[in-house]
Amino acid sequence: MPIKKWLGQYAIALPVLCVIFTLTQYLKGHAIDDAIEFAVFWAIVTLMIFALTRAYNFHRNRYCALCNDIPAPSQTDHSEEK
């Protein structure tokens, strides 16, 4: 599994999600401390769900256009399955 690649992507995604979640909670009127706590918790939950799904699909050799971890199936592969 390309764990090094994934860790780099998640290292970028975690702060971005934290900022987005913090901003939305703060704009909704929550205190900044509560907004940050909410953001960190839900950013970690979101990334864990995505990471587990991604690892499962990689293990099953399923193509994911968003992840781009395995090559896309060719047109002949689709016609053989039908």
Per-residue model confidence as pLDDT tens digits over 6-25: 888 899 999 999 999 999 99
**Within 10 Å of residue 10's Cβ, how many Cβ atoms?**
17
**pLDDT-based confidence at residue 26 (cuts at 50, 70, 90):** very high
Task: Tell me the pLDDT of the chain averaged across its residues.
Answer: 84
Mean local confidence (pLDDT), 20-37: 97
Q: CA 1 → CA 24, 26, 37, 39, distances in Å?
A: 34, 38, 31, 28
**Res. 68: pLDDT tops 90:** no
* Distance, CA of 21 to CA of 23 (rounded, Å): 5
Ordered by start, the domain boundaries in the chain are: 3-81
Q: Which of 52, 51, 42 is nearest to 19 (CA)?
A: 42
Report pTM: 0.72
72 pLDDT band (50/70/90 cuts)? low
